[in-house]
Chains A and B, each alone.
Chain A
């Protein structure tokens, strides 16, 4: 069972390099738990002016990055996603990859200073997942990267917009 789980989710074993063989299947169910208890277990999403979002875990040590619904809609069908290699340490605003649609490659920049520890490999085969669920950080979603948050990163968060501010911002455009 564990070996089947491992072949289905090769990325999972990269999250925790020291995990035992049974860890991947356990990790699968923790992603599902994350889905169901989304609002209380995690911090709310914060957004950049360039339409990237970051959502921290409850302990603020890790987070997920992606592009917003607004951005995914504006881009149209995503045909290619360029993911960063891991691990990668970045400062707020550094380019971490790109999404391509209508022959236009749009850079994705990191919202905060952090260390990229994992990427959503499924986007390589199925870039359209970004259009289906750009703000979804579950295993079937269109999230872009998983990160470890640094001290500097926590500070960077203060400059970002919350959901309501972001909504107002996009309506202004």
Chain B
């Protein structure tokens, strides 16, 4: 039973521009697979010696094409009318001048796809104007601040703290409520959604932080299943 040595690097992979959501998902899946294969390798009867180094914990950041993602509990729960609402076009906001129309690429309406994921949590929206942050790491590693690994609850708390600290750098006060995620000061509107998947303690998915997201996309859903609560952006 070998203790994995402390990871010294946190790798950051940023996908520039707007990325198709499915592409970001497949990159994420590859990273997860590296971790799972490593786990299988070190617990197999024929473990190589010396051990190869473990995969680097990685943070994947990107801005996807418009997409509504569903958590595990929601698979096959959308009605045909809900599906057609989510897939209906979102028309660009009225430009203030003809000049804007001429220069803008956004005269065409946009469409969102619907993707079922394996993460926890319910329905949320990701798209242009939002920063999606997916850390892929093994919670059972020996980290400098957590030498015995991190529990799921501590990890979620850490994702929230990090998001709050990030907002703080832009002088925005983010708060926690009894529901996971990060909210603006009054706790009425969510500024960052959270949902994680764990396979053998390897994390995937994470946080969606609204920077300049077109909040109209959120009007079509009860974001994260919380009736009566709103959504906001930085």
Contact = CB atoms under 8 A, between A and B. Distances in A.
Interface of A: 49-50, 74-76, 80, 82, 93, 95, 98, 100-107, 109, 172-173
Most buried by B among A74, A82, A100, A101: A100
Interface stretch (B22-30, B81-89, B115-123, B127-135): B115-123
Contacts of A49: 43
B149 A98 contact: no
Contacts of A76: 152-153
Contacts of A98: 72, 118
A80 B113 CA distance: 25
Given A100-B73, A104-B155, A107-B198, 7 more contacts: A98-B72, A98-B118, A101-B120, A102-B120, A103-B181, A105-B197, A107-B118
A96 to B, nearest CB: 12
Which bucket holds chain B's interface residue count? 20 to 34
A103 B198 contact: no
B140 interface: yes
Nearest to A171: B148
Most buried by B among A82, A93, A103: A103
A100 B180 CA distance: 12
B143 to A, nearest CB: 13
A103 B200 contact: no
Nearest to B157: A102
A131 B198 CA distance: 18
B197 A95 contact: no
B195 interface: yes
A104 B72 contact: no
B140 A173 contact: yes
Contacts of B149: 173
Given A80-B72, A100-B73, A105 B156 contact: no
B174 interface: no
B60 to A, nearest CB: 17
A95 B200 CA distance: 10
Interface in B191-232: 194-201
B73 to A, nearest CB: 5
19 contacts: A74-B152, A76-B153, A80-B120, A93-B40, A102-B120, A102-B156, A102-B180, A103-B71, A103-B156, A103-B181, A103-B194, A104-B196, A105-B71, A105-B72, A105-B196, A106-B198, A107-B197, A107-B199, A173-B149
A82 B75 CA distance: 11
Given A100-B120, A104-B120, A75 B153 contact: yes
A101 B140 contact: no
B196 A50 contact: no
Nearest to B148: A173
B99 to A, nearest CB: 44
| Closest 9 pairs between A and B when the two form their complex, measured CB to CB | A105-B120, A104-B196, A103-B121, A103-B180, A106-B198, A100-B120, A103-B120, A74-B151, A102-B156
B79 to A, nearest CB: 20
Nearest to A75: B152
B72 A100 contact: yes
A107 to B, nearest CB: 5
B92 to A, nearest CB: 32
B179 to A, nearest CB: 8
